[in-house]
Amino acid sequence: MSPPADSGFKRESGTARILGSGTSGIAELLVFHPVDTVAKRLMSNRGHASASSLNTIIFKQAAQAPIHQKFLSLFPGLGYAAGYKVAQRVYKFGGQPLTGIGEVVLLPLDVLKIKMQTNPDAVRGRSFFRLITDEGIGSLYRGWGWTMARNAPGSFALFGGSAVTKEYLFKLSDYSKATWGQNFVASIAGAVASITVAAPLDVVKTRIQNAHFHSDVSGATIIRDMVRQEGLRSFFKGLTPKILVVGPKLVFSYTLAQSLIPFFGKYDVYILSASRTPIGSINGTLASLTAPQLGIVAVKHAMERAGIEPKRVEEIYMGNVVQAGVGQSPARQVGIGAGIPDSTDATTINKVCASGMKSIMLASQSIQLGQRGVMVAGGMESMSQAPFLLPRHSPAFGHMQAQDSLVVDGLYDVYNKFPMGNCAEHTAAKHSITREQQDDHCLSSYTRAEEAWAAGLFNDEIAPVTVKGKKGDTIVKEDEDYKKLLKEKFRSLRPAFVKENGTVTPANSSTLNDGASAVVLASGAVVEDENLKPVAKILGYADAACAPIDFPTAPTLAVPLALKAAGVCQDDIALWEFNEAFSVVACAAEKVLNLPREKVNVRGGAVALGHPIGSSGCRIVVTLVHALKKGEKGVAAICNGGGAASAIVIEKL
């Protein structure tokens, strides 16, 4: 049973429920299927069961067979039973409102299982698909109404009896904290309630389902005949073996499921906090700070917001792209600078623009594997401090040409030997995205950023940066570039990369910037044990790759994979964050994935806010966390040079 709605977050994830409930279904089948067969055969017997006839009723054709063959004869329909039981336990223990409907969906498997147990001649020698062909799918849905009538109340009674026991006997407000013994006692109460409620209709259902395929006897007729010919006691036929099998197996499987679900949920990944520095213009207000210094500000702020002491962090991942001259192990510099102990390891990640997001994904994997409980992940970049490069070997005579490390290591396609903007032009042509559409998107990005800042929507995610100067300290707490668009002139700017008929301009491209971002992540076990209050949960993530020249559309490949990993569909997503390396990236995503613009980058994107390349992958996750409302799901996706992308799905708590 899930914790109360006001418990702060969902400790029992969908994945945990599936694993815990499915495992309990397999275990239940292996232990109890033979006794279930006995119960079904007794319920199907219309005569008086004497001691002398029990052998034939229970073992049928194997009545005179050796003992081991008798035992094996109690496992008919095991394949149908396996498919039915595992799926049944997953949905039944996953949420009681669906149990009646779910039982009907699986009814064919249950019908065939019962026929194999009680009337094997009707099934023998025919495969599942042959049975559907011969008898029609409708014949396998006989008794569906009685099935719903039997199972829905029984399931509610199971959950209700268990919940009442935990709530009033054990005084538990959070059921996921129940011990194995408490789950066992609560399951007994739930099983007794469930069996009591469902017993009469179970006999009717079984008699409908064990008949020959073409039998037209209705449930009402069966009830009438039972009352007239067998009496009211007939509604409780097989009750003793049913109590012996249904009671213990229900207690067994439900106790196991309720104990396993929280166990599997311990490795869910939660976001405790999400912070970023303001984004500075190149050679602007943050130019005097190195990438690690910016990273330190973001990480400190994130830890403070999470209520986590630096010594509690077990490992750090930080993205950083242009590392020439930054110093050894930039992530390690951040960890030590943020007060995290020397004993805590740190790793720097370089997946170009997706570095910050890849850091979150790698940290999540460590938590999901049970290797870590609390981690910091993020990204950082000082494009202002990117040095110019000269090769160590030099000509004997003459001049040398310096290379801009910002271009060489960050903004140049090494496969096609041209700037990344040329890839954007290729995407615009390939997907018929016009200059006007890109400029419209550009204006929308700046307008949304201005409105968001004016409304104070960025305030909660900003980690103010103190910049020391000759005239004293300056506190920077606002992005620089979003106010710089000349709205009356930007549509007349010349193309930046393809001069003739080009569509990509300095305005509808992202800017060069400085900044950092960070999130604090924790496992479900840590969140529960330390009573922390996460702001979001990571549901899934994925990477995807394509031809280097097509990198702007790589997010459209990563997003479906991330949604599949998260177990959600596109319609479930309330907000989308696509990193705007160029306006064409977001335009292509909207076009390919058929997304409404009103849900994409609602607070502006990198075209307006800026694109410190090592940070942006984490920055869009930070912004998404703060933009979503409680209960909403969102996707953040970012392309990266070389032809790839990363995407992540989160839920706001």
Asked if 89 contacts 22 with a C-beta cutoff of 8 angstroms, the reply is yes
Q: Which residue has the tokens 């390396």?
A: 581
Return the SS3 of 328: coil
Return the closest-CA partner of residue 505 out of 418, 441, 598, 577: 441
Kindly give, in sequence order, each residue whose CB lies less than 8 Å from that of residue 75, ignoring residues fewer than 6 positions away.
Answer: 33, 34, 37
Asked if 365 contacts 542 with a C-beta cutoff of 8 angstroms, the reply is no
**Residue type at position 514:** D
Q: Which of 423, 442, 546, 639 is catalytic?
A: 639
Rg (the chain; Cα; Å): 32
Asked if 632 contacts 653 with a C-beta cutoff of 8 angstroms, the reply is no
The yes-or-no answer on residue 618 being catalytic is no
The yes-or-no answer on residue 442 being catalytic is no
For residue 583, the surrounding DSSP H or E stretch is: helix 583-593
User: How is 303-327 classified by DSSP, letter by letter?
Assistant: HHHHT--GGG--EEEEE-S--TTT-
Distance between CA 614 and CA 382 in Å, rounded? Answer: 9
Distance between CA 614 and CA 113 in Å, rounded? Answer: 57
The dihedral over CA atoms of 237, 238, 244, 250, expressed in degrees to the nearest 10, equals -80
Residues in the chain: 653
Kindly give, in sequence order, each residue whose CB lies less than 8 Å from that of residue 24, ignoring residues fewer than 6 positions away.
Answer: 89, 93, 252, 253, 254, 256, 257, 260
Angle value at C-alpha 168, between 194 and 18, nearest 5 degrees: 50
Asked if 144 contacts 100 with a C-beta cutoff of 8 angstroms, the reply is no
Distance between CA 198 and CA 381 in Å, rounded? Answer: 64
Q: Which of 353, 423, 546, 618 is catalytic?
A: 353
Return the closest-CA partner of residue 301 out of 20, 519, 52: 519
Distance between CA 642 and CA 406 in Å, rounded? Answer: 16
Kindly report the number of other CB atoms within 10 A of residue 436's CB atom.
Answer: 10
Asked if 363 contacts 372 with a C-beta cutoff of 8 angstroms, the reply is yes
Kindly report the number of other CB atoms within 10 A of residue 232's CB atom.
Answer: 9
Distance between CA 526 and CA 469 in Å, rounded? Answer: 42
Distance between CA 537 and CA 364 in Å, rounded? Answer: 11
Distance between CA 407 and CA 405 in Å, rounded? Answer: 5
Quick one: how many helices (H) and strands (E) in the chain? 22, 16
The Cβ-side half-sphere exposure at 635, using a 13 Å CA radius, reads 34
Active-site positions read 353, 639
